[in-house]
Amino acid sequence: MSLTPATFDVFTSQSMTTPMTISDLEMVSIHEMDASSYLAMNEETFECPYREPVQYLLNNVVGKSRGAFELSQEKSEKQIEWLKLKLCAYEFKILDVAKQTHISSRAVSTSYGKAKHKAAVKLLNLLERQLKVDKIHMPKHLIGLPNFRDHSYFIPVFVPLFWNKNFVASLDKALEIASKDKTAFKPYYTIKGLFEEYRKASFDPNFTQKNYPGTSQVPGKKPDLEIDKYMMKLLVKLREDNIEYATPGGNPTTFWKDVMRTLWTQFGDENPFEQALNFDFKTLLSCSACNETKTAALHQTFIPLKEKYLNFSSLNEIMANEKSFLLLDNFNCDNCKGSDFTIIKKKLSIPSILVFLIDGQVTDDLPNALNLELPDLLNVFGTPFEKYAYSISFFKYKVESSDIGRHPRHNGGEPGDAISGTHVVLNIKHEGVWREVNNDKILEPLRTYNYARNQMLIFYRKIE
Domain segments of the chain as ranges: 30-132, 153-276+351-462, 277-349
For 61-65, 269-273, 385-389, which range has the lowest pLDDT when averaged over its residues? 61-65
Nearest to 155 by CA among 355, 390, 374: 390
C-beta of residue 285 within 8 angstroms of C-beta of residue 297: no
d(CA 416, CA 400): 5
**Rounded average pLDDT over 427-445:** 95
pLDDT in tens, 367-422: 445 678 899 999 999 999 999 999 998 888 776 655 555 666 766 667 767 777 78
Angle of CA points 7, 11, 13, to nearest 5°: 170
pLDDT in tens, 169-228: 999 999 989 998 888 999 999 999 999 999 999 999 999 998 877 766 666 678 999 999
Residue 384's CB: how many other CB atoms inside 10 A?
Answer: 12
Q: Indicate the helix (H) or strand (E) that contains 166.
A: helix 165-178
pLDDT at 4 over 50: no
> Measured in Å, how far apart are the chain's first and last C-alpha atoms?
52
φ, ψ dihedrals at 417, nearest 5°: -70, 150
Q: Measured on CA atoms in the order 344, 348, 354, 356, is the torsion positive or negative? A: negative
- The highest-level CATH class for domain 30-132 is alpha beta
